[in-house]
Amino acid sequence: MKKRILGKGGLEVSAIGLGCMGMSHGFGPAAEKSEMISLIHEAIERGIILIDTAEVYGPFVNEELVGEALKTCRDKVVLATKFGIDYVNGNQVLDSHPDRIRMAIEGSLKRLKTGTIDLYYQHRVDMNIPIEEVAGVVKDLIQQGKVKHWGLSEAGIETIRRAHAELPLTAVQSQYSLWWRQPEEALFPVLEELGIGLVPFSPLGKGFLTGTIDKNTIFPSNDTRSKYPRFTSENMKANQIFLDLIKQTAEKKKASLAQIAIAWILAQKPWIVPIPGTRKKERLIENLASADIEFTQEELKEFNEALSKIEIKGTRYPAEFEKRAGQ
């Protein structure tokens, strides 16, 4: 597996990471724990270094899963988790009060069976707590040896600048894919200027870009896609034209749609590391092969121009989630 560097602190990771959320959260019933532990081991054996989870996934069970999987191989990976989202009466609530962060890190360390978190993200920006105060708490955790690097997820560019000035950021997580390219406009220039890496989640458009779901797909109520506008039957039917375009490139490259989606992200900047998730070994192997697919600048230009002519139907998040992003 090829390597990439996140941030000016020189955090070396695999060019493709592994997002573990979907193994136990967000996409219907949790998968069999033993099978997911085997899958994480398979990913590490195949060269994946960056393993991504979060306190809120489950909540807690995803960190427990990852911690169990890494018991015998913790030293082989860069472990990322997140703080800042709590559950109150079954609802997600943003909470980055200093005491809450200090409590969160202790819980994560225990569940992940480790003494330190390599990359610790604020999951969403809490507008009630100045980002400088959050950075101060993380700085203390770094001095205590409990955290090595820190980052933000779905943060706005002014927040990123303020946070970075207080404590240099290693990475920013953002949704970024062939059908969500907004980060290119304002986020990319800031990250390049400051020397911060980008870790895109949902690089496969929550499964749509694989071509394996369509207008006839019915999502269970505990699958987040059942609440997302882009995944209504009507919008998935309308967005099929987008997949048809990707198929043309996939045929030319003798690759799958998923491989084109990931390879396209890798071709954008050398400091981008996508973290596709999966529950299946064959999909893991398929995703990792994306690192070997290359685009010429001319191919990228033609592909991007064709993409820009297609209007994607449906917003990426429901309103209550959208308002938490970009703060």
State in Å, rounded, how far the first CA of the chain is from the last one.
34
Are 152 and 160 spatial neighbours (Cβ–Cβ below 8 Å)?
yes
> Alpha-carbon distance 19 to 57, whole Å?
11
> Alpha-carbon distance 200 to 261, whole Å?
12
Torsion of Cα atoms, 163 then 168 then 174 then 178, to 10°:
130
C-alpha distances (whole Å) from 221 to each of 29, 31, 205, 212 are 10, 16, 19, 19
Give the pairing of strands 85-88 and 78-83. unpaired
> Alpha-carbon distance 3 to 64, whole Å?
27
Tokens of 198: 């980008």
Helix pair angle (33-45, 281-288), 10° resolution: 30
Phi-psi category of 326—alpha, beta or left, where left has phi over 0 and alpha has psi -120 to 50? left
> What are the b/e assignments for 38-63, b being 16+ CB within 10 Å?
ebbeebbeeebbbbbbbbbbbebbbb
> Alpha-carbon distance 280 to 38, whole Å?
10
- Which residue, chain included where needed, has tokens 């990426």? 316
- Please pick, among 57, 120, 176, 228, the residue that the annotation labels catalytic: 57
> Alpha-carbon distance 150 to 119, whole Å?
5
User: Is residue 57 annotated as a catalytic residue, yes or no?
Assistant: yes
Q: Which of 13, 35, 53 is nearest to 291 (CA)?
A: 13
> Alpha-carbon distance 9 to 131, whole Å?
20
> Which residues are catalytically annotated?
57
